[in-house]
Structure 1
Amino acid sequence: MVFFFCHLPRRQRRRTDHSPTAVSERPRMSSTQLPIDTRATLRIVTFRLLPILMVLYFMSYVDRVNVSFAAIEMNADLGMSTAAYGLGAGLFFIGYFIFEVPSNILLDKFGARVWITRIVISWGTIAGLMAFVNGETMFYVLRFLLGIAEAGFFPGIVYFLGIWFPRQQRARILSYVYMAAPISFLMGGPLSAFLMEIGNSHESFTGWRFMFATEGIITVVLGIVGFFFLVDRPSKAKWLSAAEAQDLEEKISGEDKEIAAVHGAGTLKKAFTPRVFALAFVYFGIAWGIYGIGFLLPLAISDFQTQFGLELSLLQVGLISAIPYAFAAVAMFLWSKHSDRTNERFKHVAIAAAAGGIALTLAFTFDSPYAIMAAVTVTAIGMFSTIPVFWQIPSLFLTGAAAAAGIGIINSIGNLAGFFAPYIIGGLKDATGSYQAGMLLAGLFIVSASVAVLLIRTRLRRAGEATREVRVIPQEINN
């Protein structure tokens, strides 16, 4: 997140008054006054909204994957096999799948401020209850409920950013938010391991229970804070003048109208088309790689002790598992920026996914922990670099209610990989004693996604439909 703030553009001179009046009580100018600098407006929006979105998204991943660190001790305490753990970890995504689209539609109805806050507080509460798990059944139930609670959060963010930012800025802006995902692995892993060690240092606590309770409480508090920072749309923002809000909404509305002129109005039925489900398959393959690594990498590194004779503490496992995500965070930002600059989406997704998939198929064939981690790092770079760019593709032909529902469909179906990947990879590990077969399968899914996105691009071109973004906003605001 420090990386994000270092890259915020400097405000223009007329914005350098940092007094409370200058920031939050500026007069609401009419649209007939001075010409509006859209770039300056977007800097204000970026500074106001992205930090809280990044923090909330960071915690969503911490609460989603901290179970991978808990498993190092929890599996033995509860008598669970790797396959049983994989099933429980994956049940999160069944609940997520069932309630994803309804949740995203309700976000459009109630507004981002209320609905995203509801999502965060709900999942934080259930994440904290994980501290009281007493067996496999309770583990399964709470993981399923956690998925229901978090359903709609990420596609809600994608939809929310579509209300605030022109299309040509969204891959880069979304990369700022999604950067919280690799950062959550980078910082969340060591944080979870640290909390577990604190819990284990007291006789009255169990390490993994203390970790769940602490991180759940933090999430609930941040959800309450988010309620006071999020604003549903530009016209409701007190920190924008009336002219700035109107200018921004008119530009985004103009883009939506141009998309509607090519692809038809954004009615709900537009979300249930073959191209939407094709994109869901692409995301399924990408997500298989992300969750396969995310849920099982700490366990795989822990196995280095028996496989290569390495003695590793919990904190060392957390630090080693963070390495791939440090590189992924930087690469994702640069790749998304390049996609925005060239205004190209499909090939950027395909190239990154292919590189990640090939690396993962080879990773666990090596006989060196250094070679394994190098290949996993390339995989993480490829997988995370695809995400912000991929989520710009639906907006090439979906607007309005169709965009809300379509993004929800793609995300919910794609995230089913989060159920199948840890369960199947864990089952193959139990059966073969190695992660090699499971990661090979994951790599094949990712490469298939790379091929599929190029086929979608070809079909759109043959149908005579544009595959490049609508250029309603002048190029210079992309700086």
Structure 2
Amino acid sequence: MAVGGEDEARLERATIRRITWRLMPLLGLIYLIAYIDRQNVSYAKLQMAADLGLSEAAFGLGAALFFIGYFLFEVPSNLILVRVGVRRWFARIMASWGLVTILLGFTTSGPMFYVLRFLLGAAEAGLFPGVLYALTLWYPQRHRARAVGLFMVASIVANITGSAIGGALLDLDGLMGFRGWQWVFVVTGLPAVLLVPVVLARLPDSPASAPWLSDAERDWLAREIAADHASQAVSPRAEWKAMADPRVLMLCLTFIGFPLAAYGLSYWLPTIVQGFGVSNTMNGLINAALWTQVGLALWLVPRWAARRRHSSAHIVVPALIGAAALVASVLLPGAVPKFIALCIAASAIFAGQPIFWSLPPRFLTGSAAAAGIAAINATGNLGGFFAQTLVPRVAEASGSQLAPMFLLAGALVLVSLGVVAVERRLPPPAHPASRGPTQERSSA
């Protein structure tokens, strides 16, 4: 039964609040563990590269092979998810990536490291775009950027947690006969395996299978999602048409700059901080402070954007601020000013991404959205491959640990130009005023 006015406003607030509290902590925890298992290699590198006899560039290539496996299996993984359901497919993803991460702790050679990093990417492929697709089932479009921002806060918590424990685990070097880098992989891989039964028991596939939603809340959500999709035609072979859509292709190319800058910075950051002359544990704590600032930006910027119709400026301006801050991190004298510039850069790199992910659902829905989002994320994450191969090479060629920041800054400038070009070809976002008075009072 439909409701109106203040009753509908209360129903909207209650539904979004219930979904957020029931769904986002578990999804966030899954992504937190996944992100730690991506980033642990940046700390392991401080010992592992020498143990395996690999140069910075050779180790960077091995670390970057994660993104090749990710790229190749991302779209197939997301299409399988649509057919088998979020719960079972996420459980499979977690079990496989956790086991591969543990095996990395027993790497004995460069080729073995290369194979396992590729398998780790293949195992995790589909998680992030799978969550983005799942959020299109749970959140109306006007709430989605805030939901994505809240979800992405988990990646920042992962960087904070990973930074804090990564250095400490390295300092366990020699315990029980294991090197510190081995402890990094084994300890960070176990949580993914242990969380699989929780995912199977607690994660619903869709609102229809969520026992904690009332009939009224479920009906309201169904109406809102249907209204979002009403103007989006669904055709046969929608998945393949979505991936060939010029707007999807433009978003694929545009998104590359964000992972290139993000992974280039996070991969190289522990090495930069090590140059300040601090211990491994202090290195982790300093990095944790930086990622705390990024988490605050991810919390605030999507909420600011939601009140202003999610304009492309909320993607473009952070990208340009990030580029300027990366250049400043090279030019400013002294460790403290450089680190402050890196804090600003990291916050800006992440702050615009939740609003970026509100762009594909403006013209894609259903399996087309699953395929299109996966294609954008898979292609964009090749930026991580370029980051972990080009950044070490630029550093070696220049003899400077900060020179690669110019490369990352250029990538962010290209992001801003790409977003401006794509925005002109998209339908306008739904304005809060066009959907009633409930928008400004609702929250994710």
TM range (shorter): over 0.9
Match of 1:240 in 2: 213
3-state SS, counterpart of residue 364 of structure 2: coil
Per the TM alignment, residue 429 of structure 1 is displaced from its structure 2 partner at its CA by 1.4
- Note if 1:283 corresponds to 2:249: no
Counterpart-to-counterpart distance in 1, 2:219 and 2:167: 48
* Residue 448 (1) aligns with residue 426 (2): no
**How far has the Cα of 1:33 moved from its partner?**
10
1:292 aligns with 2:264: yes
Separation of aligned partners in 2, 1:108 and 1:314: 43
Equivalence for 1:12: none
User: What is the 5 A alignment of 1:313-332?
Assistant: 313-332=279-298
Matches within 5 A, 1:213-292: 213-260=186-233, 267-268=238-239, 269-292=241-264
Distance 1:296 1:136 in 2: 20
> Do the aligned partners of 1:356 and 1:446 also contact (CA within 8 Å) in 2?
yes
**Residue number in structure 1 paired with 2:341:** 375
For 1:402 and 1:295, locate their aligned partners in 2 and report how far apart those are by CA, in whole Å.
33
CA contact (8 A) 1:363 1:375 kept: yes
CA distance in 2, matches of 1:352, 1:86: 27
Report the residue type matching 1:191 in the other structure: I
Structure 1 residues 33 and 467: alpha-carbon distance in aligned structure 2, compared to 1, 3 A threshold: closer
Shift of 1:472: 4.4
Q: Does the alignment pair 1:127 with 2:101?
A: yes
Distance in 1 (alpha carbons) for counterparts of 2:335 and 2:132:
37
Unaligned stretches of 5+ residues in structure 1: 1-30, 305-309
Tell me the equivalent position of 2:133.
159
RMSD: 2.0
Query: 1:149-188, aligned counterparts within 5 Å?
Result: 149-188=123-162
Query: How far apart in 2 are the matches of 1:469 and 1:338?
Result: 14
Structure 2 match to 1:18: none
TM-fit CA distance, 1:181? 1.1
Change (3 A) 1:374 1:244: same
Count of paired positions = 436
Displacement of 1:131: 0.5
Q: Percent identity?
A: 37
Rounded Cα–Cα distance in structure 2 between residues aligned with 1:341 and 1:209: 47
Q: 1:472 to 1:113 in 2, by over 3 A?
A: farther
Secondary structure in 2 matching 1:392: coil
Is 1:116 the counterpart of 2:90 in the alignment? Answer: yes
Q: Which residue of 1 aligns with 2:428?
A: 466
1:77 paired to 2:48: no
Q: In structure 2, how many angstroms separate the alpha carbons of the residues matched to 1:336 and 1:445?
A: 22
Q: Secondary structure at the match of 1:287?
A: helix
1:475 lines up with 2:430 in the alignment: no
Distance 1:288 1:321 in 2: 19
Any idea what SS the aligned residue of 2:230 has? helix
User: Residue type matched to 1:133 in 2?
Assistant: T
Deviations 1:21-71 (A, max 9, x none): xxxxxxxxxx58997612212211111111111111111110001110011
- Distance in 2 between residues matched to 1:341 and 1:178, nearest whole Å: 19
Equivalent position of 1:138 in the other structure: 112
Q: Which residue of 2 aligns with 1:53?
A: 27
Matched, 1:101 2:75: yes
- The change in CA–CA distance for 1:33 and 1:361 in structure 2 (over 3 A counts) is closer
Q: Distance in 2 between matches of 1:195 and 1:71?
A: 13
Cα shift at 1:478: 2.5
Equivalents in 2 of 1:206, 1:389: separation in Å? 41
Find the aligned partners of 1:380 and 1:478 in 2 and give their Cα distance: 29
SS of 2:331 mapped into structure 1 = coil
Q: 1:360 aligns with which of 296, 301, 326?
A: 326
Asked if the contact 1:288/1:442 (under 8 Å) is kept, the reply is yes
Q: Distance in 1 between matches of 2:189 and 2:388?
A: 23
Alignment equivalent of 2:274, drawn from 284, 302, 310: 302
Q: Deviations over 1:231-265 (max 9, x none)?
A: 011111111223321221221112111344xx989
Shift of residue 201 of structure 1? 5.1
What is the alpha-carbon distance in structure 1 between the residues aligned to residue 167 and residue 302 of structure 2?
31
* Structure 2: segments with no counterpart, 5+ residues: none
